[in-house]
Amino acid sequence: MRGYGAVLKNLDGTEFMQKYDERLSLAPRDIVARAIDSEMKLHGTDHVFLDVTHKDADETRRHFPNIYEKCFSLGIDITRDMIPVAPAAHYLCGGIDVDLNGESSIKRLYALGECSRTGLHGGNRLASNSLIEAVVYADAAARHASSVISGYDLRNDVPEWNDEGTVHPEEMVLITQSIKEVNQIMGYYVGIVRSDLRLKRAWNRLDILYEETEKLFKVSKPSRELCELRNIINVAYLIMRQAMERKESRGLHYTVDYPHPTVPAEKP
């Protein structure tokens, strides 16, 4: 919608992107995301607005029928009302190394799209790159998987899960609350803008959740929710570990301790 002409504004209706980039609301999304994050922290708000009310209403509805319908179902007419928006972190952009078939170092495990390091995407989240990834690497992965799948055998000697001595968790809130806490830790400390201090604090908080979850898992009958919680915590650990080892800012992997280097102006 920014490419269409939508403008970012604060809750009082004032534009703010001129403070961050000369391209204003058309700046790359990593810059826009950090700008929104900065404005939200500055004003103590949980969102800003995306304003497209100055565009022709019929044209807007034709261009963005799904957005229009979704917002309208929430009581927001995007041709008349500004849209509340907040940045979302893309934690794995350009992360998993793959070969020309989209296969990772773990055989039979493919990584496609923004999470993969193919050379087409990089450390930023660009909408057009998603199409390139789909046309090139998704196709390559599908062809490769189809060509080798007949050579694989499935294990049929895996014993049934033995849950003797375990019980169902007394309260599902133990799981749902932990999931919320992981989301908050990642959002506040490992999201749009990072720092060594925030990452260390996130690591310490996650350690507590890890210990609590493992204790619960050992005495509980396995459930989808509990297994998902363990997976969420493991992925969070991996993201934090990579972020702590990265001593630079690259694309949307931004840290205030190692900001993007300033390119010196060319001499006349």
**Percent of all residues in the chain with a pLDDT value above 70, rounded to a whole number:** 92
Domain ranges of the chain: 7-85, 96-151, 159-268
Q: Which of 101-115, 161-175, 177-191 shows the lowest per-residue confidence on average (mean pLDDT)?
A: 161-175
Q: Are 244 and 201 in contact (CB under 8 A)?
A: no
Three-state SS for 222?
coil
Separation of alpha carbons 104 and 116, rounded Å:
9
253 pLDDT band, cuts 50/70/90, is confident
The stretch 112-141 carries a mean pLDDT of 80
Three-state SS for 227?
helix
Query: Which of 107-116, 128-137, 234-243 is predicted most confidently?
Result: 234-243
Give CATH for domain 159-268: 1.20.58.100
Average pLDDT score over the chain:
88
Separation of alpha carbons 183 and 205, rounded Å:
12
Q: What pLDDT is recorded for position 218? A: 86
Q: Inform me whether the pLDDT recorded for 145 exceeds 90.
A: yes
Q: What pLDDT is recorded for position 125? A: 67
**Directed axis angle between helix 224-245 and helix 196-219, to 10°?**
150
Separation of alpha carbons 192 and 20, rounded Å:
15
Evaluate whether the domain defined by 7-85 bears CATH number 3.40.50.10780: no
pTM of the model: 0.74
Which residues are tagged catalytic? 29
Three-state SS for 95?
coil
Q: Does 7-85 match 159-268 in CATH topology?
A: no
